[in-house]
Amino acid sequence: MSDPRLTPFSGRFALEPLREQVAAEAFVPGDPARIAAPVVDLAVTWGGARDRQLIYGAAVTVIERRDTHAFVQAARDGYCGWVAADALAPHQIPTHVVATRGTHLYRHPSIKRGEQGALSLGARLTVLGHAGDLAQTPEGWVPATHLRPLAPPETDPVAVAERLLGTPYLWGGNSAFGIDCSGLVQLAFALCGRACPGDSDLQRAAFGDFLPEDTPTRRGDLCFWAGHIAMAVSPDLLIHANGHAMAVVYEPIDDCLDRIAQSGEAHWFGRKRPALA
C-alpha cells in the first residue's frame, strides 16, 4: 500500500494522477493555495494528532475541504494531511524567505505601531516594495534585513541549523517556535534550495548509501538512528533537535552515540553524505 503521508488521497477525494490507483469518490485537479498562518499543524488522518507542520507561505494543493479543515499536499515535499482551513489563502509566488531565526509582521510601515504576528525562519513572502528599512508584503510589513531573496539559495545547511540553537524540541515541529530532528534538517535544506523529505525514515531513504564506518566525518554529514537524525558540524560535533535536551543543541558525536546506545532506544544506522548542490 502507498505511504499515506505521500499519497494525495483524503479517503474520499484524490488527485487526478491517482485515477486507477485508489478507490476515490472523485478525482480532482486540486486548487493551489498557501499557508497564511505563522505555523499550522498537519495531520495525516482527520482529527488526528500532528504529524508535521507547515509554515507561513508554504505552497500547497487543496484536495478536499471538509467543515473546518482541508486536506492538502505540500509542494515542498509531497507530504499530505489535514490542516485548519482558515490557515489557507490564495496562492502567491514568493520572492523572499525569512533568513533569521524569526521576525515580526507589522500592520503598518512602522515597528512602533504594533505587530500582527511572528514568523519563523523559512517563512516565504511576496515582497511588493519597501518603505525605509521595512519590506511590504500583501499581509503587512517585515524588517528587510530579516529577509533574503529566494535565489540564490544559501549553501551551508549546517549554518542554517545553527540559527535555531536553543529552539524548544517539539515532536512534528517544523519552525523556530518548536522543531524536531527531521524538521531541523528539512528546514536547513530548504533554505539551501535542496529537496528533503519531512520524516527521518524518508530522509534516510532519500540520501543514497551509507558511508563506510571508517570514513572521516565531514561537516554536513547526516547521522541516522532509527527514528532520529542529526547533522555533523565538524568531525567530532553534531547538531540536532532531540527529546533528551528538549532543544536544538550541539553534542559531541561520541557522547551522543554512547548515550543513545546505552538507552537502547534507537538502532544506529550510520552516516550519509548528501551530494553537494
Could you tell me the CATH number of the domain that includes residue 179?
Answer: 3.90.1720.10
Segment 251-262 shows an average pLDDT of 97
Considering the domain architecture, whether residues 134 and 105 belong to the same structural domain is answered as: yes
Considering the domain architecture, whether residues 103 and 130 belong to the same structural domain is answered as: yes
Number of domains in the chain: 3
The confidence score (pLDDT) of residue 58 equals 98
Considering the domain architecture, whether residues 69 and 108 belong to the same structural domain is answered as: no
> Quick check: is 202 in a domain?
yes
Query: Mind listing the pLDDT tens digit for each residue in 6-56?
Result: 999 999 999 999 999 999 999 999 999 999 999 999 999 998 999 999 999
> Quick check: is 253 in a domain?
yes
> Quick check: is 277 in a domain?
no
Could you tell me the CATH number of the domain that includes residue 142?
Answer: 2.30.30
Considering the domain architecture, whether residues 165 and 207 belong to the same structural domain is answered as: yes
Give the other-Cβ count within 10 Å of 78's Cβ: 17
Considering the domain architecture, whether residues 128 and 169 belong to the same structural domain is answered as: no
Using CA atoms, how far residue 208 sits from 19, 203, 218, 262, 273, in Å, is 31, 10, 16, 28, 8
Residue 55: which domain range? 4-90
The confidence score (pLDDT) of residue 276 equals 66
> Quick check: is 181 in a domain?
yes
Considering the domain architecture, whether residues 204 and 261 belong to the same structural domain is answered as: yes
Dist. CA 148–CA 214, nearest whole Å: 39
Question: Looking at 90, 109, 129, which one is the last position of a domain?
Answer: 90
Could you tell me the CATH number of the domain that includes residue 16?
Answer: 2.30.30.40
Dist. CA 42–CA 83, nearest whole Å: 5
Query: Mind listing the pLDDT tens digit for each residue in 225-252?
Result: 999 999 999 999 999 999 999 999 999 9
Considering the domain architecture, whether residues 124 and 101 belong to the same structural domain is answered as: yes
Instruction: Give the full edge-to-edge strand order of the sheet including 222-225.
Output: 247-252, 237-242, 228-234, 222-225, 268-272
Considering the domain architecture, whether residues 142 and 233 belong to the same structural domain is answered as: no
The confidence score (pLDDT) of residue 265 equals 87
